[in-house]
Structures are given as C-alpha cells and as structure tokens.
Amino acid sequence: MLEETPWVLDAKDETERKRRVGLLFDMNKMANESDRSMRKLRQMQVSNGGWPWFEGMPDDRYITQHIICGFGKLDHLGITAVRKEARNWDMVKDGVRYMDARIAEDYEWILKWDAAHKDDDHLGYLQIHYLYARSYFMDIPMTERTKKAFDYYQGQVKKYWTNKSRYMQGMLAIEAFRNKETAISTDIMKSLKETAIVNEELGMYWKDMAAGGWYWYQAPIESQALMVEAFHEVSNDQKSVDDIRVWLLKNKQTNDWKTTKATAEACYALLIQGTDWLATESDVTIVVGNQTIDPKAAGVQQEAGTGYFKMAWTGKDIAASMGKITVKKAGPGVSWGAMYWQYFEDMDKVTPANTSLKVVKKLFVTRYTASGPVIEPVTEQTVLKPGDKIKVRIELRTDRDLEYVHMKDMRASGFEPINVFSQYKWQDGLGYYESTRDASTNFFFPYLKKGSYVFEYPLFVAHEGNFSNGITTVQCMYAPEFAAHSEGMRVKVGK
C-alpha cells in the first residue's frame, strides 16, 4: 500500500518525513545503501558497457551518459572515490567506452552519408551531453577512432555554440573549460550572464529555461542546477551562484523538485559552493487572519538548524479570515512555507482529467455463446462472477512526443492478473516495459510518439464483493506537469 499511494502515506506526516533525514547521518546505513546501489548498477550494465532505462530494456545512450555524469559528480564532491575502487572504476571505464563508441558512430555516419555537408551544424543534444559527461573522465584514454570524432565535435562547438539552448550552452562552457578551451568558455559565460534575468525575490534565472518542456534537455531544474556548476567552476562568480541557488529554492517552495533526477541535480548544485544560509538565524513574522503565529508561545518545537515547524487546524477551527496570510522576513537568506488543505476522495468518484494526455480505461468480460466467445463491456450495473475472465483495455492519446513516460493501472482487489512476469514488449512501433505488481500493472515508455495507443491485458475475477476498480494514471517522469488519469468506477461480483 505504501508504494501505491506514496503521496498520501509516505508524506502525510511532514514531521515523520523530516525525522527520517536523521537516517542520512547513519554512516553504516549510508555505506550499505551505497554498496547496494553500486551492485545494482553493475548488475544492470549490459555487455557493451551501456545501461538501460529500466531492467530488461535495451541499452539507452542518454541514460548511460547520465549515469557517467553522476559518477563524475560524486567523484568531484569527494563522496565516492571512483578511481580508487577497482570494480566501480571498471564500470565507469566500460560506460565511457560505450559513449566513445556511440560518438564515433555519429561521426562515421556523417562521413558516409553527409560528407558534402560535413561542416554544417551536426552538434545535437546527445553529442553535447556526451562532451559534458566525457569531460569528467578525460584521464580515460581515447582510441584513435574516438579521438577523430571528439576533435570534430569540439570544432563544432566553436562554430555553433551560439544557436544552442541555455542548458546546452552551460554544458559546453564547462566541457570547454575542462579541455583548456578557455576563450570559448569565457564567451559562453559572458553570453549567459547577459541573457539572465535577475530578480530580488526570485534570484537569477533564464526565461527560456524556466518554461521547461517534455524532453530531457528542456528540464528546468536540471538546467538551473547546471548553471550553478558553470558559474562556480568556469567563472568563479559567487554572487551569481547564490542568486541561482535562490531560484532553485524558490522553485522548490511552489513547485517541488518533482523527480529524483531533478532533486539529485539540485542537491549537487547546492553542495558545490555557496554561502552557508543555515548559519543565519530565522527572523520571520507570520500572520494568519488576525492571529500572529508564534511557535514558541504555542508550544510548537522548531527543528534545529532549519527552524522548521508545523501547525495544523481541524475543520471546526478554520475561519474565512484565515485565507489572508502575511509573511515578512528581515534577515538574509531564503525562508519559505506552505498552507494547504488536505482531504480524501473515493477512487470510484474520480472524474477523468482533461489535459494534453488522455486516458480512457474500459473493462470487458468474456462470455461464451453458441457462436463462440464474445466480449461485453463491464458497467457498474454488470454483475460478475468468480472465475470470469476480464479484459482491461486502456486507450492512451498524446498530442505531442514525450520521453520516459510511466503509466500505472490500478485494479480492483477482487481481480488477479494472468500476466505475472514483467517483460519488455513491442507493439505497433512502440517499445515498452510491462511490470505487474500487487495492486497495479505498470507500463514504462522510453519514448512515446504523438498518437493514439491501445493496451490490453487479461485478469480473472477471484473474489465476491463490491470493489473500487481504481484509476489509470500516466505521467511524463521528467516533466511531471504532463499527466492525466482515467475516471473511476465500481465493479460488483456476485456468487
């Protein structure tokens, strides 16, 4: 149940959630978690050195480059001495060789099929990401084949960096600086500073980056976090670093770092360098309606270090005047908080979402007639029986291309799945991984092209009763605002 409803059960008690932070300081637990993660990475790495997005899938170029970047950042922070651990270093070297092979193939494709336009712009997102990832491990030697491709794309950087996105320019500035191309890195950083927006409240940010998108290279949190790295390492501009950190924290205030990937990148950016804001005393005055909030007077304990506290009101204590809230801060740094209203709703009363993604879920029961088996739609008036075979049909529509999409179909507790083995599947030009869990069936799509798709899988009716059938949710993992869900319904099972 905890896995099926993490936003309710895992985070319903903010105090308990904060208390768990203490586990991060348990050195034995951290060492065990680190070893377990490294073992899992070694097990998932395929023979050619690449990693898949999800176990059982083919190797994925971007995911491999992302993992290599992660190792580079851990090494840069001194958290993991990658080069001193033989097994981890072998894993990194295999991953880098995989990246080198892919970039060499890109270059050879140009020579074979587009040699006449060799000097045109062939510097794509994956090639830029490769140069950035590779810059962490330039001590790993390149083959002659790779060196030719590397030098070609390095030359492309000098010609075409001006027409790349801010996120890509940040990567190029860092990799150029590490490869002693200081003239290029200086020009890029100058351009980035000139195009930035500086706001007293929101800090320093870039308008086109903040807009985001649904591809990995349009992720706003990751883009902003990379700018911290660029201004710290390339420009050594402490003022800009602090201003960019303000935007990251202000974004966390209102939007949350919605994914593990975004959170990891933001934490890395905050750990690199910056003023110790936790060392400053909290000096915030909060007025809710006509009531000034004083946690000490109310007997509410504040968290050491951060000054965090929480106050809650039940339904009978809430008044209309409490909708007016005033917050004032006198000291330096950033403070933030939230006021929210939490309530629960039955699954079968949920209505479908109207977004760019659309999901329709239908149930059909198989009936056997004289002319053979036929399927009939299941409604809330349909009475099923134990042993009936159910077909779940999910219609998914998207009006744009999406990457790394997760679709989760919950099922009634009276149903049991027939497909119990998780596996990679290919259907109508779409590759995806299907995973069956205790209360849901999950679908993982590395790439979901614009269009309509239909997915079907069978269930058996196992128990009598009146059940909520649950809903189907779909979400782009690295752009969580692109999400949708189907409507809920109830199913009845008689004798």
Domains delineated in the chain:
13-278 (1.50.10.20), 281-329 (no CATH), 347-493 (2.60.40.690)
Interatomic CA distance for residues 126 and 171, integer angstroms: 11
Residue 273, token pair as written in the block: 């360098």
**Residue 261: which pLDDT band, with cuts at 50, 70 and 90?**
confident
Residues facing residue 169 across a β-bridge: none
Those residues with Cβ within 8 angstroms of residue 138's Cβ, 6 or more apart along the chain or in another chain: 178, 179
Query: CA-CA distance, 114 to 26, in Å (whole number)?
Result: 56
Q: Could you give the count of Cα atoms lying within 13 Å of 227 in the half-sphere of its Cβ?
A: 32
pLDDT of residue 343: 59
d(CA 258, CA 346): 25
- Residue 302 pLDDT: 75
**Rounded CA separation 448/356 (Å):** 13
Closest Cα partner for 441 from 412, 482, 402, 414?
A: 412
C-alpha torsion sign, points 228, 229, 230, 231:
positive
In angstroms, the CA 149 to CA 52 distance is 24
Q: Are 150 and 142 in contact (CB under 8 A)?
A: yes
Alpha-carbon distances of 312 from 10, 293, 315, 316, 326, rounded to whole Å: 18, 12, 10, 12, 17
Left if phi > 0, otherwise alpha if psi is -120 to 50, otherwise beta: which for 18?
alpha
Instruction: Specify the range with the lowest mean pLDDT, choosing from 100-104, 397-401, 477-481.
Output: 477-481
**CA–CA separation, 302 and 313 (whole Å):** 18
d(CA 96, CA 334): 39
**68, two tokens:** 């290599």
pLDDT band at 221 (very low <50, low <70, confident <90, very high): confident
pLDDT confidence of residue 7 = 40
In this predicted model, what pLDDT tens digit does every residue of 83-93 receive, in sequence order? 888 889 999 99
- Residues 136 and 76: their CA atoms lie apart, in Å, by 8
Between these two residues, 175 and 82, which has the higher pLDDT value? 175
Closest CA to 490 of 389, 434, 411, 423: 411
Residue 61 has pLDDT above 80, yes or no: yes
| Structure token pair of residue 102 | 């892919």
Q: Given a cut of 50, is residue 2 above it in pLDDT? A: no
Residues 126-135: what's their mean pLDDT? 96
pLDDT tens-digit readout, 96-117: 999 999 999 999 999 999 999 9
Q: Give the CA angle between residues 477, 479, 483 to the nearest 5°.
A: 75
pLDDT the model gives residue 329: 77
User: What span, in angstroms and rounded, lies between the C-alpha atoms of 327 and 196?
Assistant: 28
pLDDT of residue 9: 47
Condensed to tens digits (0 to 9), the pLDDT of residues 439-450 reads 899 999 988 888
Side chain identity at 264, as an amino acid letter? A
Inform me whether the pLDDT recorded for 1 exceeds 70: no
Residue 186 to residue 192: CA distance in whole angstroms: 10
Judge contact between 292 and 285, C-beta under 8 A: yes
Q: What is the structure's pLDDT at 488?
A: 85
Q: Is the pLDDT of residue 4 over 60?
A: no
Residue 2 CA to residue 8 CA, distance in Å, equals 8
- Condensed to tens digits (0 to 9), the pLDDT of residues 279-311 reads 555 677 888 888 888 777 777 777 766 677 888
In this predicted model, what pLDDT tens digit does every residue of 202-214 receive, in sequence order? 789 888 776 667 7
Number of Cβ within 10 Å of residue 145's Cβ equals 15
Closest CA to 342 of 4, 29, 7, 6: 7
Pairing of strands 197-199, 423-427: unpaired
- Which DSSP symbol is given to 166? H
pLDDT of residue 11 exceeding 50, the answer is no
Q: How many residues does the chain have?
A: 495
Distance CA 172, CA 161 (A): 8
| Phi, psi angle pair for 369, to nearest 5° | -120, 180
Q: What angle do CA 157, 161, 166 make, to 5 degrees?
A: 130
CA dist 388 and 365 (Å) reads 7
Confidence check: pLDDT of 475 > 90: no
Instruction: Show the tokens assigned to 92.
Output: 């990194």
